[in-house]
Amino acid sequence: MEIKDAKFEISNVDVRKCPDTDVPEYAFIGRSNVGKSSLINMLTRRKSLAKTSQTPGKTLLINHFNINNGSWYLVDLPGYGYAARGKQQRDEIKRIIESYILNRRQMECLFVLIDIRHKPQAIDLEFLEWLGENSVPFAIVFTKADKLGTNAGAAMVEDYKKVLLRHWEELPPIFITSSEKTRGRDEILDYIEAINKVVKAHQETDSDVQDVNLSEETPSENDIP
Ligand code: GTP
Ligand code: MG
């Protein structure tokens, strides 16, 4: 799938004010500085669509990016667990993130980003556990693969899978990416495209069912006494 058009649409702290549409959306989350905004720019091939920064804590809002003229959305979320923030701001961000994840019915998959250089961290594992408890569909995206050699990167991913399998019966979809080197782009876009197709097929079936219901309710000549 190609992204022909990508536009920033709206920033929010309130999930109820997010775009009121039926199109699928895909959100990106993970610790501050893991590379969420950079990944959105890499996928859309727009250098500074989502704002990036070397300082953690750049993204503080729910940001919607409209893809291919309203066909679907990419959503940049604030990072979790940035220690230098005060407790009040950390709690506020936690509330925004949780309310978005639990209430946004259009969100078809949450991409959870993990820095490929780090051993499994409690904060990420606990977050994944919470997603599982709440039946949130997610995939894992390892970021910054260019910072390790191919073999070292693959070894980190294998270690991570082992840890996941201590808690999970099966592994989620896993992507290895580098925004710097445009790695993993086709894999993620193909995955999104496959989900978009399923959503569309469901919506068409639903609207057929609605048509049948409507036609059943419409009085016909035979109903007139
Ligand atoms: P917050 O919005 O602050 O939570 O951060 P974020 O997760 O959106 O991270 P962001 O995309 O702003 O990137 C943080 C830093 O990591 C920036 O300096 C990026 O240039 C760098 N970075 C992101 N992705 C990659 C990558 O694939 N490779 C390398 N080498 N650096 C990256
Ligand atoms: Mg960001």
Q: pLDDT: is 112 or 79 the higher one?
A: 112
32-36, 55-59, 194-198: range with highest mean pLDDT = 194-198
What are 188-207's pLDDT values in tens digits?
Answer: 999 999 999 999 999 888 87
Nearest-CA residue for ligand 1 atom 22 is 35
Mean pLDDT of 157-162: 97
Cβ(37) – ligand 1 distance below 6 Å? yes
What are 116-152's pLDDT values in tens digits?
Answer: 999 999 999 999 999 999 999 999 999 999 999 999 9
Point out the ligand nearest to the CA of residue 80: 1
Q: pLDDT: is 60 or 96 the higher one?
A: 96
Mean pLDDT of 216-223: 54
Instruction: Find the 21 Cα to ligand 1 centroid distance in Å.
Output: 30
Residue 56, pLDDT > 90, answer no
Give dist(CA 215, CA 11) in Å, integer.
41
What global pTM score does this model have?
0.91
AA letter at 179: S
Lowest mean pLDDT segment, chosen from 7-21, 78-92, 203-217: 203-217
Kindly report the CATH class assigned to 6-213. Answer: alpha beta
Cβ(210) – ligand 1 distance below 6 Å? no
Cα angle, residue 38 at apex, residues 5 and 14 outer, rounded to 5°: 75
Instruction: Find the 97 Cα to ligand 2 centroid distance in Å.
Output: 13
Mean pLDDT of 91-95: 89
Instruction: Find the 58 Cα to ligand 2 centroid distance in Å.
Output: 5
Cβ(63) – ligand 1 distance below 6 Å? no
Angle between helix axes 122-133 and 150-167 (nearest 10 degrees) is 50
Q: Where are the domains of the chain?
A: 6-213
Residue 186 pLDDT: 97
CB 181 within 8 A of CB 148: no
Residue 88 pLDDT: 85
